[in-house]
């Protein structure tokens, strides 16, 4: 079985994967935490919704992207909490640290979320 490419030090390789799919996979696996439960949305995120969140959200990661009055492209890739779910990841580069995400969402949660996306990268 294919495993996520894990770089030493809790680093997960996301090189070549679309940011929208990465965010959606991590979001869908994440759990609501603490006061985030008040903003929790049980909805599943697809790549289209993730694109909107990445590109049109406000300064607060919990901000409703569809209501951004400035409607500016922001391209911010750090997510602390997103709609009540604990994320704590920066997906701006070719790899990210899974340490804080996994502390909030379970052992190897980030790796398991990304693993399915990496399957499409496997050359036969």
Quote the Cα angle for 74-79-81, to 5°. Answer: 125
Tens digit of each residue's pLDDT, the chain (124 residues): 444 555 456 899 999 999 999 999 999 999 998 888 888 888 999 999 999 998 886 444 444 434 444 444 455 789 989 999 999 999 999 999 999 999 999 999 999 999 988 655 544 3
Tokens 């209501």 belong to 67
Q: Are 30 and 105 in contact (CB under 8 A)?
A: yes
Q: Quick check: pTM over 0.95?
A: no
In terms of Cα–Cα distance, which of 65, 64, 66, 78 is closest to 23?
78
Residue 42: Cβ-neighbour burial (10 angstroms; 0-12, 13-18, 19+): exposed
27 closest CA partner among 58, 54, 67, 66: 54
- 11 burial via Cβ count (<10 Å: 0-12, 13-18, 19+): middle
Annotate 37-85 with DSSP letters as a single string.
GGG---PPP-HHHHHHHHHH--SSTTS-GGG-TT-------EEEEETTE
């Amino acid at each position: 079985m294919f495993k996520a490419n894990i770089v030493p030090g809790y680093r997960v390789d996301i090189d070549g994967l679309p940011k929208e799919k990465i965010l959606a996979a991590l979001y869908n696996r994440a759990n609501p935490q603490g006061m985030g439960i008040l903003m929790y949305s049980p909805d599943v995120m697809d790549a289209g919704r993730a694109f909107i969140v990445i590109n049109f959200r406000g300064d607060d990661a919990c901000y409703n992207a569809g209501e951004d009055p400035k409607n500016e492209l922001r391209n911010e890739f750090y997510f602390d909490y997103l709609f009540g779910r604990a994320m704590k990841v920066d997906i701006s580069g070719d790899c990210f640290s899974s340490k804080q995400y996994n502390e909030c969402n379970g052992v190897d949660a980030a790796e398991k979320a990304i693993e399915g996306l990496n399957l499409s990268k496997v050359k036969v």
